[in-house]
Structure 1
Amino acid sequence: MNVKTILILGALSACGPLAIDFYLPGFPAMALSFATDEKHIQTTLAAYFLGLSIGQLIYGPVADRFGRRVPLLVGVSLFTLASLACAFAPTLEWLIVARFVQALGGCAGMVLARAIVSDKCDAVGSAKVFSQLMLVMGLAPILAPMLGGVLVNSWGWQWIFILLTLFSAGCTLAVALGLPESMPADRPRRPLSGAPKLYGGLLLDPVFMGHALTGGIAMAGMFAYIAGSPFVFIKLYGVPAEHYGWLFGSNAAGFILTAQVNARLLSRRGPAWLLSRTVWVYMAAGIVLLALSAMQPAQLWPLLVPLFVCLASLGAIIPNASACAMNGQGSRAGSASALLGCLQFSLAAGAASLVGVLHDGTAMPMASVIAGCGILAVCAAVLTRRCQQRRDLQVVA
């Protein structure tokens, strides 16, 4: 896969997540603008997550029926129009609806980028491309909040959505001019009426579900960190708010670095082998984090080391799990990508909510959820490996 295609897919994959990280600094200004509080502004985030979950399940069967290019153009165009509607929202209710529609459009890039990679690459090639895409996914949470804060302070929160409009319009143009249809012309086109049966088959596929859950549960630990770290860093250990971005960015840098190392290691070891090892690293670091949190250290740095290892290991776990889940999906690659994404965001939202439910004024809720995700991810990986081995033996026989 050439560099131009990877860059386009990276930008498309970033649309959905970027619309989350980018507008977080605008919460206080938006609350003031709509004469409400930040708790009500957070409903726009909930609407966005709902749109991401629903939208991905729609795009999967559509992509398997009509190909990748047309649904992608429709989705990114919808994201562009909805972003413009967000920028000029006259009421909070308008903004909530616009955010939901924006998510319906934004998730097209997430779903179809994975499907396009699966169309063009085998398991090892897919894992390499996914690792390269992690560079974009890792940079987004570093740069987006900083740029969003600058825009809010300089011109107002509306400019966050205006810039998203321009970015997605550029993505639409890039798809139209530089991204041809990737679905083979001779591949069977699945009818939309078969979508429920197709999703049912994927849910009953132990290898697909095992890899999807391994990656999804591990990603849920990352969202537990995103939900819990502001309290732990700023409130509990007194890190200045302006320094929080540097800590957040250093962990994202570890994620990016591991993803790039993973891409190189794939030349010698396959994604399944690397996945089966890195989940143990994630679990071990999570358990150490939990043990240290239970001791309630007076300083933050003892927690930062295992936390960094946890998040860095995700740079290998997520692309390898995605590649293994998508391997061999063929004519149902779009639906498989959709279900994979839906599972990831559903588990992530659940983990983030659980951190809030368990809140007790310590670092324990965040550490407990991360450690629990590590243990469950290892269990899923071990069981999946056994299912794969049994399947391979049946094929040989």
Structure 2
Amino acid sequence: MNLRTVMILGALSAFGPLAIDFYLPAFPAMAQAFATDERQIQTTLAVYFLGLSIGQLAYGPAADRFGRRKPLLFGVGLFTLASLACAYAPNLQTLVMARFVQALGGCAGMVLSRAIVSDKCDAVASAKVFSQLMLVMGLAPILAPMLGGALVNVAGWQSIFLSLSLFSAAALLAVVLGLPESLPAHVPRQPLSGALRQYLRLARDPLFIGHALTGGVAIAGMFAYIAGSPFVFIKLYGVPAEHYGWLFGINAAGFILVAQFNARLLSRRPPGWLLVRAVWVYLLAGLALLMVSALHPAALWPLLLPLFVCIASLGCIIPNASACAMNGQGARAGSASALLGCLQFSVAAMAAALVGVLHDGSAVPMSLVISLCGLLVVSVALLTRRRQAKAPA
């Protein structure tokens, strides 16, 4: 797969995360603009997670029926228009609805980029491409909070959504000019009427579900961090809001570096082998984070060290779990990618909500959810590995 295609797919994959990370520094300004508190503004984040989960299920069957290109163009166009609606929302209720529609558009890139990689690559090559996509996707959490904070200070919170609209419009043009249809002409198109049956088949596939949940629960830990870190960094430890993006970016840089190292390791080891080892790193770092949080340290740095390891290890877990889940899906790659993404973001939404429910004015809720995700990730990964070893060749 050439560099241009990887860059376009990376941009498309970044839509979902970018529309989250970019506007986090704007929460206080948005709360002030709509005469409410930040807890109500967090509703726009929760509804976005919901839209990402639901929307992916629609794009999967559409991609298997009409090919990858047409649903992708529709989704990116919808994201562009919804971003404009967010920028000019007259009240919080309108903003919440626009964010839901924005998520419905944004998830197209996430679903279809995975399907396109599956169309063109085998399991090992897919894991390498997914690792390369982490480089492009990882720039979003590094740059987005910093740029978002700067934009809010200079041009107001609306400028964030206007920038998202411009970014998606540029990506739409890139798809039109540089991303041809990837589903081979000889592959039979799957009827929309069989969508539910296709999802049920995938749900009964223990290897697919196992790998999907391994990646999904790991991503849930990341979203627990995304939901909890603004309070922990800014409110609890007094980090200036304009410096929050730097801390966020350091963790994202670790994620990127590990993803690129993972791409090199794949020349020597298969993705499943790397996956079952990376999950242990995630678990141990999560437990260390919980132990440090329970001690309520006066300084922030003791928390940052295990947190960095947690987020960095995802650079190995996510691409390998995705590659293992998508391996051999063939004509149903669109539906498989959709169900994979739906599971991931459904679990992530629950983890983010749990951080809010457990909120007690300390770093413990965030750390507890991350460590629980680590326990589940290891359990699911080991169980899936055993089932795979017993499966007939």
Identify unmatched segments of 5+ residues in structure 1.
none
**Number of residue pairs aligned between Structure 1 and Structure 2:** 393
Q: Give the structure 1 partner of residue 218 of structure 2.
A: 218
Corresponding position: 1:390 with 2:385: no
Shift of 1:50: 1.7
Distance 2:87 2:162 in 1: 6
Which letter maps to 2:349? A
| Corresponding residue for residue 281 of structure 2 | 281
Instruction: Please say which of residues 40-49 and 1-10 is displaced more in the overlay.
Output: 40-49
Distance change in 2, residues 1:211/1:11 (3 Å): same
The letter for the 2-side match of 1:233 is: F
Which residue does the alignment assign to 2:32?
Answer: 32
Contact 2:149 2:241 in 1 (8 A): no
Aligned residue number for residue 265 of structure 1 = 265
Number of the residue aligned with 2:319: 319
- Within 2, Cα distance between the matches of 1:171 and 1:284? 39
Aligned partners of 2:23, 2:14: CA distance in 1, in Å? Answer: 14
Taking a change above 3 Å as real, the CA distance of residues 199 and 288 of structure 1, as seen in their structure-2 partners, is same
Aligned equivalents of 2:362 and 2:86: distance in 1? 36
Moved more, 60-69 or 22-31: 22-31
Question: CA separation in 1, counterparts of 2:19 and 2:254?
Answer: 22
Identify the residue that residue 179 of structure 1 maps to in structure 2.
179
* Aligned mates of 1:255, 1:190 — CA distance in 2: 36
Contact 2:146 2:246 survives alignment (8 Å):
no
- Partner Cα distance (1:34, 1:300) in 2: 32
Alignment partners' CA distance in 2, 1:122 and 1:147: 37
Per-residue CA distance 1:58-93 (angstroms, 9 max, x = gap): 000110111100100111111111112222223333
Q: Percent identity?
A: 77
Residue equivalent to 1:298 = 298
2:87–2:159 Cα contact (<8 Å) kept: yes
- Aligned partners of 2:84 and 2:90: how far apart in 1? 12
- d(CA) in 2 for partners of 1:138 and 1:283? 21
Deviation at residue 277 of structure 1 after TM alignment: 0.8
**Which residue does 1:118 correspond to in 2?**
118
Equivalent residue for 1:355?
355
2:149 aligned partner:
149
TM-align CA RMSD = 1.5
Letter matched to residue 75 of structure 2:
G
TM-score normalised by L of structure 1: 0.95
Q: Deviations over 1:148-178 (max 9, x none)?
A: 2222222222221221111111111111111
Distance in 1, Cα, partners of 2:143 & 2:306: 24
Greater mean alpha carbon deviation, residues 207-216 or residues 141-150: 141-150
CA distance in 2, matches of 1:285, 1:38: 30
Aligned equivalents of 1:330, 1:323: Cα separation in 2: 13
- 1:170 equivalent in alignment to 2:170: yes
Offset, 1:45: 2.1
In structure 2, do the counterparts of structure 1 residues 232 and 41 end up closer, same or farther at CA, with 3 Å as the change threshold?
Answer: closer
Instruction: Give the aligned partner of residue 377 of structure 2.
Output: 377
Aligned to 2:310: 310
Deviation per CA, 1:319-366, whole angstroms, max 9, x where unpaired?
000000000011111011011111111111111111222222332222
Q: Is the 8 A contact 2:72 2:108 kept in 1?
A: yes
Counterpart position of 1:251: 251
